[in-house]
Amino acid sequence: MLTNEIKDKLIQRAKEAWGRAYAPYSNYNVGAALLTESGEIYDGVNVENAVYPVGICGERTAIFKAVSEGHRSFQAIAVVTKNGGTPCGACRQVMAEFGLDTIVLIANTDGELIHQLSVAELLPYSFGEKDVK
């Protein structure tokens, strides 16, 4: 169960990650904290590059770190930006790959929870495994 204490912890971890983002071009830091089904937390940041397509978002960094450690099921992910921006389409698609029921907490750098949604709510009519079989 996703208690308020766990939500606060995820948002705090995402805020801490936000400060480590590498965004010299957009100056739009993103921090993320992903909670696995087993209770482990993986954080991530956006990493930009002068060649824009080769950068990566904070949400995907956290997910790829967790997947590389063997995790495939997630309870929630907190995403922190200065203005409470929502994940991009690529991040939504990656989240959908690992569970439409995953809770997405969107917060600003003050730690204020702006939105709490499921991945399915962020990406209705998602394309997934069922579509490629």
Report helix, strand or coil for 89. helix
Asked whether residue 133 is domain-assigned, the answer is no
Asked whether residue 38 is domain-assigned, the answer is yes
pLDDT tens digits, 42-87: 999 999 999 989 999 999 999 999 999 999 999 999 999 999 999 9
CATH of the domain at 100: 3.40.140.10
CB 103 within 8 Å of CB 121: no
List the Cα angle 132/62/128 in 5-degree steps. Answer: 10
- pLDDT number for residue 1: 83
Asked whether residue 53 is domain-assigned, the answer is yes
* Number of domains present in the structure of the chain: 1
pTM of the complete model: 0.96
Asked whether residue 131 is domain-assigned, the answer is no
Q: Which residues of 21-34 are buried (b: 16+ CB within 10 A; e: fewer)?
A: bebeeeeebbbbbb
Asked whether residue 97 is domain-assigned, the answer is yes
Asked whether residue 76 is domain-assigned, the answer is yes
Asked whether residue 79 is domain-assigned, the answer is yes
Asked whether residue 90 is domain-assigned, the answer is yes
Average pLDDT over residues 114-119: 98
Catalytic residues: 59
Domain that holds residue 32: 4-126
CB 48 within 8 Å of CB 55: yes
> Which residues on adjacent β-strands are paired with residue 44?
32
* Per-residue confidence band for 114, with pLDDT thresholds at 50, 70 and 90: very high
CB 114 within 8 Å of CB 107: yes
